[in-house]
Amino acid sequence: MPLHYVNSRKPALPVPVRAGEDGEAKVGWDEFLGWFGRRLGRILAQTEIVPGRVEEIRLRVNQPLLLRLAGEDVFLDRTGQPAPAEEAYRVELPDLAETMDRLTQSSLYAAAENLRQGFLTLPGGHRVGITGEAIMKQGSLQTIKHITGLNFRLAQDIRALGLDLLPHLISSERRLYHTLILSAPRAGKTTLLRALIRWLSNGVPELGLPGQAVGVVDERGELAGLWQGVPAYDLGCRTDVLDSCPKALGMGMLIRSMGPEVVAVDEVGHAEDVAAIAEALRSGVSILSTAHAGSLEEARCRPILRDLLAGGIFERAVLLSRRRGPGTVESVLDLARGQEVRPWARVANRKM
């Protein structure tokens, strides 16, 4: 059973506040630091780096404490100030142990499924990648012990994101084209997907787009950021979320049970995902999905994505990069015609 599991009790640690009035993401930084061990929390609390700039916080045993900002890596010393690597604070095993205790609420067994996947999801959709000693049983990963590294990836939620992209993803009948968002890691796929789900669910009167029932299979718990049943993100008023369920299983379940018009999933990449998407198409829903690939060419070189693209399943592809920061839209492609969507091409390369 995964850690973002069970009931609707109020989260044990506060959910970071997201999405400010100005459309910029605000991180409930102090609350977020509650997940770190005391010493690390103190260091991070003292840093003068604007929390909104932080994309990742990397903890590796006996290595310097590292913050990854957009296009820049910063090491922190004991006082939270940027420092050269050799003078930076070295993360120690007790720091990692204490942090893991807080992340799992001292319940490693409850996080077993997450450990098998190699990450935990926190309130707010933040993801913590885990490395350590893999314990194998009958050829499959049983768990990870002797944790040696943690990577906190801070999720973003920017309200206005995706709105200017939306007109190019809906048909004249106001139906969402089957859309695939492609990018390399850390380029904003999930953030854009989340924003599109919300727009589709709530509807956009300016575009004449009525709200649609959206079914979300949130296999990794990142889209809704559910923490013990409480969503950290607003995915819209017509959205049903199936949390921690494999995509291939969840898509069919949602279609049968909730009658969505759009089914959204994050990071397709397995053969069974392709089969499930093909099955979903037969029921007439629109598919909104993301996948790892730096370009369309790269996607076409990958067996699973190649099948998806060659099968003519998707009608639109949105290519993202980090060239001008996460969420830079490189192009929107009409896959049926094999060309860029014209209105978008004129303003291509803008950042969302």
Partner 1 sequence: MLILGAMGLIAAFGGIGLWLAARVRRRPEEIRVLLTALALLDTDIYWGATPLPEAFSGIADRVEDPWRNFFTEVKERIERGEAAWPAWKETIARLTGAFALKPEDWLIVLDIGKGLGRSDQQEQHKQLELAQKQLTLLREQAVVWAEKQAKMWAYLGFLVGCAGAIFLI
Catalog residues that contact partner 1 under the rule CB under 8 A: 1, 3, 5-7, 9, 12-13, 34, 38, 98, 101-102, 104-110, 112, 142-143, 228
The distance of closest approach from Cβ of residue 97 to partner 1 in the complex, given in angstroms and rounded to an integer, is 8
Q: Which two tokens stand for residue 132?
A: 């350590």
The distance of closest approach from Cβ of residue 108 to partner 1 in the complex, given in angstroms and rounded to an integer, is 6
The distance of closest approach from Cβ of residue 92 to partner 1 in the complex, given in angstroms and rounded to an integer, is 16
Q: Which ranges of the chain does DSSP label H, i.e. alpha helix?
A: 29-33, 38-46, 93-104, 112-117, 189-202, 247-258, 271-282, 296-301, 303-310, 342-346
Query: Among residues 98 and 240, whose Cβ is nearest to partner 1?
Result: 98
In whole angstroms, what separates CA 112 from the centre of its chain?
21
d(CA 17, CA 26): 7
Query: Among residues 228 and 295, whose Cβ is nearest to partner 1?
Result: 228
Query: Among residues 52 and 118, whose Cβ is nearest to partner 1?
Result: 118
* Nearest of 224, 2, 243 to residue 103 by alpha carbon: 2
d(CA 153, CA 62): 20
The distance of closest approach from Cβ of residue 80 to partner 1 in the complex, given in angstroms and rounded to an integer, is 19
Query: Among residues 151 and 228, whose Cβ is nearest to partner 1?
Result: 228
Integer-rounded Cα radius of gyration of the chain: 20
What is the largest distance, in Å, between two alpha-carbon atoms of the chain? 60
Query: Among residues 33 and 181, whose Cβ is nearest to partner 1?
Result: 33
* Nearest of 258, 261, 161 to residue 209 by alpha carbon: 261
The distance of closest approach from Cβ of residue 13 to partner 1 in the complex, given in angstroms and rounded to an integer, is 7
The distance of closest approach from Cβ of residue 39 to partner 1 in the complex, given in angstroms and rounded to an integer, is 13
> 234: buried, middle or exposed (CB in 10 Å: 19+, 13-18, 0-12)?
middle
The distance of closest approach from Cβ of residue 89 to partner 1 in the complex, given in angstroms and rounded to an integer, is 20
Query: Which H or E element spans position 54?
Result: strand 54-60
Q: Which two tokens stand for residue 75?
A: 């090491």
